[in-house]
Amino acid sequence: MESLGDWRRDKYVNEVTEDDYDKELVFMGWVQDIMVLGKISFIILRDRGGTVQVVMSRNEIGANRYNFLKKLPRESVIAVKGVVVPNPQVQQGFEIQCKEIRVLNLAKSPLPISVDGQVRANMDTRLDWRFLDLRKPEVQAIFKIRSTVLSAMRDILLEEGFIEIHTPKIVATATEGGTALFKMKYFDRVAYLNQSPQLFKQSMMATGLDRVFEIGPAFRAEEHDTLRHLNEYTSIDIEMAFSDENDAMEVLERLVVRVYGKVLAENYSDLQTLNVEHTVPEPPFKRVKYSELIERLQNEGLEVEDERSGQKRLIEWGDDIPLEGMKLIAERYKSLYFITHWPTSLKPFYIMPLEGDEEVSHAFDLNYAEKELASGGQRIHLPDLLRRRLEENGLTPENFTFYLNAFEYGMPPHAGWGLGAERFLMVLTGVKNVREAVLFPRDKKRLVP
């Protein structure tokens, strides 16, 4: 194999401008395709920035070298030194008149999946060969957007006065209850992978840090097998003291709006590659009460299975809204909206019930059409109420000592939310499967790669 030597990439192909015309530059990347027309060949070279046509003529580089190079397997890695020549005939408006090529590594053939989009492989096959899958511009575009989204969120939250924290992912006991946890060995003890930073970020409210956020993984051992669930996902969590759920919703609203703006500005070409169009959403997002939605669904005649009898009956207040119901709602609420005033019974124990009407809570969800993106609310800050709510949810307060202690020595009222990064990316990138938004998704069946 030939070595890099003193060659270094001068530009990615998308960075070439008219100023580079007639200059000799070095490009590096992968051989996407070679079209051989006798004594002249066209190599389609691909790097992160796109593809460019490299023109290689036998007369220019010699017959021996030419005959070797024109047979390079697809996806081999090369460095090309050549002159940038304007040419209105080609897609990019310029091509590279090849002077010299260094073959840095050969690719095996045939390829397990096609990289140039000739044949669409199944998601499963693509994930088995994710590194090849990621050579495709439309797959790379998702992760370029993901990078923008997560860095923008960090910047925006810092600007909003939040402090970034990191809470443990290895925990001793169930945090919220409800969802199943992954069990693991912790030396000679049993430990679990954390399902959410909830309890830790709430305990930060008792410290005076006042506003905190965390971007990190969350693990759920549910055997769900859908296009919108992962067993490991990225959660963006905030918690803010001296606040109620409306303050939390406003932070979320500002964050979402600004992230849209950032993505539109920085990933214009990636959005084009993905064939999605966005406009920055206008705040305030609609706020609709849970009870209104239930009424609407009753008018639509939506039936659910009764938990006790197993019989079909009309949906009623207190029922969770099934996906079918969310789809009906999405016909009217096509974009971003908040669902507020949820029944306390449908929300975790730490959500603050309404004063004077404990059946209703200070919880909200942020949805995009039928997709649930975030959920949050005002939390209980009163220790007695919190203990009672734990018990009402069938949980044992003794298991929550570290958490409850934080409420005993001066805990301010507070609120917060958790936003699913991959769910939000589904909306921004238009992908139908949440697995598309993670490099190496973890689901019930997939642990490798």
Partner RNA sequence: GCCCCGGUGGUGUAGCGGCCUAUCAUCCGGGCCUGUCGAGCCCGGGACCCGAGUUCAAAUCUCGGCCGGGGCGCCA
Q: Which residues contribute to the site for RNA (CB under 7 A)?
A: 33, 35-40, 42, 44, 53, 55, 57-59, 71, 73-74, 87, 89-91, 95, 109-114, 118-125, 178-179, 196, 220, 222-231, 233, 235, 320, 322-324, 346, 372-375, 418-420, 422-423, 433-434, 445-446
Shortest spacing between CB 125 and RNA, in angstroms: 3
> What's the min distance (Å) between Cβ of 65 and RNA?
14
Name the residue nearer to RNA (CB basis): 266 or 372. 372
Q: How far apart are CA 136 and CA 327, in angstroms?
A: 32
- Give the nearer residue to RNA in terms of CB position, either 114 or 246: 114
Looking at residue 310, the DSSP 8-state letter turns out to be: -
In the complex with RNA, the residue whose CB is nearer, 169 or 266, is 169
Say which DSSP state 161 is in: T
Minimal distance in Å, beta carbon 150 to RNA?
Answer: 15
Q: How far apart are CA 341 and CA 95, in angstroms?
A: 60
- Separation between Cα atoms, residue 317 and residue 188, nearest integer Å: 47
CB of 6 to RNA, least distance (A): 28
Q: Tell me the closest approach of the beta carbon of residue 304 to RNA, in angstroms.
A: 8
Structure-block tokens of residue 368: 């995009």
Evaluate whether 425 touches 146 at the Cβ level (below 8 Å): yes
Closer residue to RNA (CB): 130 or 266: 130
- At its nearest, how many Å lie between RNA and the CB of residue 363? 9
Other beta carbons within 10 angstroms of residue 386's beta carbon come to: 22
Give the nearer residue to RNA in terms of CB position, either 57 or 207. 57
Stretch (H or E) spanning 132: helix 130-133
The contacts found for 290-294 with CB under 8 angstroms, 24 or more apart, are: 290/317, 290/339, 290/340, 290/341, 290/342, 290/343, 291/317, 291/341, 293/321, 293/325, 293/329, 293/339, 294/319, 294/321
Closest CB to RNA among 189 and 308?
Answer: 308
Amino acid at 132: L
**Rounded Cα–Cα distance for residues 44 and 40 (Å):** 13
Q: Whole-number minimum distance, CB 265 to RNA, in Å?
A: 25
Rounded alpha-carbon distances, angstroms, from residue 249 to 157, 254, 269, 320, 376: 13, 9, 31, 21, 8
Distance CA 90, CA 121 (A): 28
CB closer to RNA out of 7 and 341:
341
Q: Least distance in Å: CB of 200 to RNA?
A: 15
- Rank residues 5 and 301 by Cβ distance to RNA and give the closer one: 301
